[in-house]
Amino acid sequence: MDRDDVTWHGYWPAAPTPFTADGRLDEDAWRALLRLYAEQRVHGVLVNGSTGEWFSQSPDERRRVVEIAAEEVAGRFPVVAGITAYTPDEAIGLARHAATAGADGVLATPPPYVHPGPDEIVDYYDRISSATALPFMVYNWPRGVAVDISAHPGLAERLAALDNVVAIKDSTGDWLRMLGTVEAVSDRVRVFGSFLHRRGLAVLMEIGGDGNIDGGGMGAPFAVPYYEAVAAGDRQAAREWAGRYGALSSRLINPDYSGVYGTPIAQLKAAMNLLGQPGGHVRPPLLPIEDEATLRAIDAVLTESGLKAAAGARA
């Protein structure tokens, strides 16, 4: 397989997993969130990624999240299931379930906490990407696993050469390293990275790159038309949408992907609740943002960026 075997592109939410106040998986809210994404005309969705709090779910819950997503989306856009785990066998089990559940692909970081070297990373991905016939997305997430694939010369190319790898999600905090990934492998695999700004527009138009996978997808009212303008070659419209997206994201997320007002997932769910969106509650070890001053500050960002008006949100 290679990049031409999938149509993956554009703006994808990395979906949060809604939990109830007492910590149960909220299946009704999860279905509602997926319907919201369909209404926003996103181009794909990642479930059970970092934003989906895979780390606090049981294996059965992770499987149920994928089952509901495949059923609810019903082919309207790609559903890629996160299978990140500490061992190949655990990741392979999740991948095989995702295939039977109807997911369109799977994604994984290098194993967290382990700090594997380049040869171990290649072997890990070779094992788990070949376990099913599903297209595979490599996820570079140094903030979460303390390993930066893009920091190792030639490693992205080795991973792109694996049979089922069709995409790389490069979430390094170093934009120039991400650009290096685009230059090295975008002729062979799709690259999702940080492109929702004028520098990113120049890269998409002249060098390569395929989309953003964005924590929670709150920026969809700005980011979906941005990518549609890019596809149409309308640079002026794309610049305008990038500016609107930047007015939101720059006030909530730092360049290293940390949150301005709290941990990123807690901040995201607080913002979604303020928008009237079904993000649900966080689950321990995360804690909800409940400080009134902090919530007012987040609400101000949502209002002043124009997102509340664009989303038609409830106050």
Residues annotated as catalytic are: 50, 139, 169
Count other Cβ atoms within 10 Å, centred on residue 186. Answer: 19
E strand intervals along 193-299: 211-215
Q: How far apart are CA 126 and CA 88, in angstroms?
A: 10
Amino acid at 112: P
Q: How far is CA 57 from CA 15, 70, 192, in A?
A: 14, 18, 25
Tell me the two tokens of residue 66: 């994928």
Backbone angles phi, psi at 264, to 5 degrees: -55, -40
Residues 6+ apart with CB under 8 A from 192: 8, 12, 137, 167, 168, 169, 170, 209, 210, 211, 212, 213
How many CA atoms does the CB half-sphere of 109 hold within 13 Å? 26
